[in-house]
Structure 1
Amino acid sequence: MQQGIYQIGKLEQTEDSVKAAVKIDPSHALFNGHFPGAPVVPGVIQLEMVQELLAQHTGRKLKLKSLRTCKFLEVLDPSRHEELTVFIKYKTQDMLDITASGESGGSVFFKLQATFI
């Protein structure tokens, strides 16, 4: 996790899914440069949120094996959307095949399908 950019809050878990509230710190220094006057949560940080949630949920250290689809549908401005709800559904075998999305205030910011090992 990039120190202090976000914090994972309440988790709701089932056998094959995770839903979590993720609080974004709009005052983090990252947003001074990404981008001045128009802050944007980088896509790589949004992907990291998914990986960290999965690792926390499964108790496993995970690495991204493949990213089948990844769409960033809207700009995630931390000054307007300080809390993001991340939904993850997965199938467990030797690897984790997942579908995930991040939403806030009726907007969907990302959708992805990936495999983690």
Structure 2
Amino acid sequence: MSEDVYHGDILSKEQGEDEVTLVISIPENLYYFKGHFPSSPVLPGVALTHWVMEYLAEYFEVDPNQFVGLSALKFQIIICPNYEISLHLKKLNSSKYSFSYSSIHGQHASGKVLFK
């Protein structure tokens, strides 16, 4: 039995003062594909937003406990196993960050994260 995998593999990282871009490979055995949907797995939006929060904490040292909400949240194109996606995070000000997921398939998701 294989171990559950909760993150894609980070293939590359470009980091500037107020932004970071991660290229992430999405494995077939990603935990979030289980039951969503068995015959045609799709990465749920809640997993994408969870990753955003984790990477904001890691690269911008934001405190997830200060989370207020999401705005302008859009899910445009589904993400399937074996996709290679790019996550771009940008600090807009001390309490607002933007994110976008994209790949050769197009824009997958985007939004803004607000903190206290």
User: Taking structure 1 as the reference length, what is the TM-score of the superposition?
Assistant: 0.81
**What per-residue deviation string (whole Å, max 9, x for no partner) do you get for residues 82-108 of structure 1?**
x21001111342x3x111100111411
Q: What value does the CA root-mean-square deviation take over the aligned residues? A: 1.9
User: Taking structure 2 as the reference length, what is the TM-score of the superposition?
Assistant: 0.82
Q: State the partner residue of 1:78.
A: 81
Equivalent residue letter for 2:8: Q
Equivalent residue letter for 1:74: I
2:16 and 2:31 map into 1 onto residues whose CA distance is 35
Note the residue ranges of structure 2 that are not aligned, 5 or more in a row: none
Q: How does 1:23-102 map to 2 (within 5 A)?
A: 23-63=25-65, 64-79=67-82, 81=83, 83-93=84-94, 95=95, 97-102=96-101
Note the residue ranges of structure 1 that are not aligned, 5 or more in a row: none
What secondary structure, in the 3-state scheme, does the structure 2 residue paired with 1:6 have?
coil
Equivalent residue letter for 1:101: S
2:113 and 2:61 map into 1 onto residues whose CA distance is 18
Asked whether the equivalents of residues 69 and 114 of structure 1 are also in contact (C-alpha less than 8 Å), the reply is no
Runs of 4+ in structure 1 over 4 Å off: none
Q: State the partner residue of 1:107.
A: 106
Deviates more, 1:9-18 or 1:54-63: 54-63
What secondary structure, in the 3-state scheme, does the structure 1 residue paired with 2:34 have?
helix
1:106 and 1:77 map into 2 onto residues whose CA distance is 10
Percent identical residues: 26
